Structure 1
Amino acid sequence: MQAAFWVTVGLLCLTTAGLGNAQKPQPCRSPPLFMGGLTVGTQNEKVWAVGRYAYDAVQQRIHLGEMGTYNNKSFTYNALMLFDEGVLYEINHKEQTCVKKPLQSDFHPMAVPKGATFISQVVLGTSSAPGQGLLVNNWWGDMPDKQGNYILTFSEFGCFPVSALAKTKEFGWMSVSYYDNVLGAEPHWFIPPPFCADAELVESEDGKVTDFFSVFH
C-alpha cells in the first residue's frame, strides 16, 4: 500500500505542465447539499474503511457511516456531526444506543482552500471518446496546523470531491476517495434517531478534543 501512495503522488507532480499556457483553474466550492460513498486508507495500513456520507453546507451538518478495520480489528461507525450545535452523535442502530459528545471543530465547506496551489488538470479514464473520462483538477497545500500537507482532486465541472491525500502524524498519508456523488440528501440523514433523544452530553475521559478527524480513529 505504501508504494501505491508514492506512485500516486509522483504521477500528480509529473503532470504539472498539462495545461501549458491555458488559463489555470481557480479554487472552487462543492454544491451545498449532496451525498455519496467513500473509502479511507492510510499509508501505515492501520486504517481501512468504506462507507456512505451526507453533506449539508447550508445547516453545517455531516452524516458518516462506515465499516472497516483499525489495527487489524474490524469496526462499524455511524456519526452525525451537527456543527452549528457543536454536537457529535455516535449512533449504534443495532443496539439502539447513542453517545452524545461535544464537537469542538469548525465546519469547513467542501472546497478547494484559497491558499492551495494548483498542480495539474488531468483526465481520469480517457478523453478519446465522449463519456469515458472525467476532467479533474489537482491541488496542493499545507494543513491548517502546518503539521502536514494535502493533495486534493476535484472535478472540473461541478466541483465534486474525487480524492484527498493528507499527511498526518499518526497515519502518515491518509487517502480518501469519493464516488457515486448525487445532488441532494434526504432530511432523515441529519436527524438523530428517537433513541438519541435522552442522550446526555458526555465529555471525553482522556481529555482529547472531539473534532472531525476523530471519526477516523
Structure 2
Amino acid sequence: MLAAVTLFMFVCFTATTNADHHHHPCHTPNITGLMAVMSLKGEVKACGAFTYDSTGKKLRFRSNESHPVNSSIGLDILMFFDEGIFYEIDSKNQSCEKKKLHCTMHPLDIPDDAKFYASMTTGSASIEGEGLKVNVWTGGFTDSKDHYSMSVTMGCLPVSTLYFFEATPFLFSIMEVEMEIKDPDLLVVPSYCHGQPLEETPEGTINSFLHEFI
C-alpha cells in the first residue's frame, strides 16, 4: 500500500501538465460515502462513514462504526464550517464537546484558491471501463509551508487528497460515494448537545478537521 501511495505521488508531480488558466475550482455536491485516512508511514489513522452537505457547509464523520478497522483514532465529529464551530460527539455516553473551528479546509471540497495542475487517467485510458479521468488541484496553507494535492473526477467528486505536512504526510481516500444525503439527521446537533458551552481553546492548539488526525 505504501509503495502504491508513493508511486501515486510520483505520478502526480511528474505528469505532463495540462494547465489552463481558464480552469476554476469546482465544488463538490451533497454526498455520502466512506473515508479512509492513512499516514504515509503506513499507519491507518481512521476509516468511517461521512455525510457532507455542500450547500449548508456541514460535515459528519464517524470512524470505526460501520466499517471497523485496526485504526488509531475513533471519531464522531459534526462540523459547521460557516458557523466556525464543531462538536465531538460520544453517542454511547450521550455527551459532547463544542469547540471553535480555526480552519475550514477538508478533503471533500476544493479550496477556492487551489491551482489546477493537470488532468490524468488512473488505470487505463485505452481500455473501456478500466480508467478514471481526474483533475488534480494543488495548493498550500497560508500559515505554513505545508501543501496538498487533491484529485477529483470530472463531475467534481473527490477521489483522494494528499496533505504534505512537515511532521507526517496524510492520504485521505474517498470511496463508495453517493450523490445524496442519505440521513439528514446526522447533520443535526443531538439533543443532548443543546446548550453546550463553547470550550476554551488551549494556547497553541489549532482545531480543524485535518488536525483531528495529526
Shift of 1:167: 0.8
After superposition, what is the alpha-carbon deviation per residue over 1:143-199, rounded to whole angstroms, capped at 9, x for unaligned? 33341222111112x11111111111231x211111111112131121012221243
CA distance in 2, matches of 1:207, 1:97: 25
Q: Which residue of 2 aligns with 1:174?
A: 170
Q: Which amino acid aligns with 1:153?
A: S
- Provide the secondary structure at the position in 2 that maps to 1:75: coil
Aligned to 1:90: 88
Q: How does 1:1-217 map to 2 (within 5 A)?
A: 3-16=3-16, 26-45=23-42, 48-67=45-64, 74-106=72-104, 110-111=109-110, 113-119=112-118, 121-156=119-154, 158-171=155-168, 173-185=169-181, 186-205=183-202, 208-217=205-214
Q: Say if 1:115 and 1:48 are closer, same or farther in 2 by CA, change over 3 A.
A: closer
Q: Report percent identity of matched pairs.
A: 27
> SS of the residue aligned with 1:54?
strand
Q: What is the SS of the residue equivalent to 1:76?
A: coil
Q: Shift in Å at residue 112 of structure 1?
A: 5.6
1-structure distance, mates of 2:209, 2:177: 20
Deviations 1:85-142 (A, max 9, x none): 32211111222221111223346781264441413x2222333444332111223333
The one-letter code sitting in structure 1 at the alignment partner of 2:177 is N
TM-score (normalizing by structure 2): 0.81
Secondary structure class of the residue paired with 2:75:
strand
Distance 2:44 2:145 in 1: 20
- Residue correspondences, number: 208
CA RMSD of superposed structures (Å): 2.9
Does the Cα contact within 8 Å between 1:69 and 1:75 map onto a contact in 2?
no
Uncovered stretches (5+) of structure 2, i.e. residues with no partner: none
TM-score normalised by length of structure 1: 0.80
* Structure number with bigger Rg: 1
Separation (CA, whole Å) in 1 of partners of 2:202 and 2:143: 24
Q: Do the aligned partners of 1:153 and 1:162 also contact (CA within 8 Å) in 2?
A: yes
Inter-CA distance 11–33: structure 2 relative to 1 (3 Å threshold): same
Measure the CA separation in 2 of the matches of 1:82 and 1:11: 35
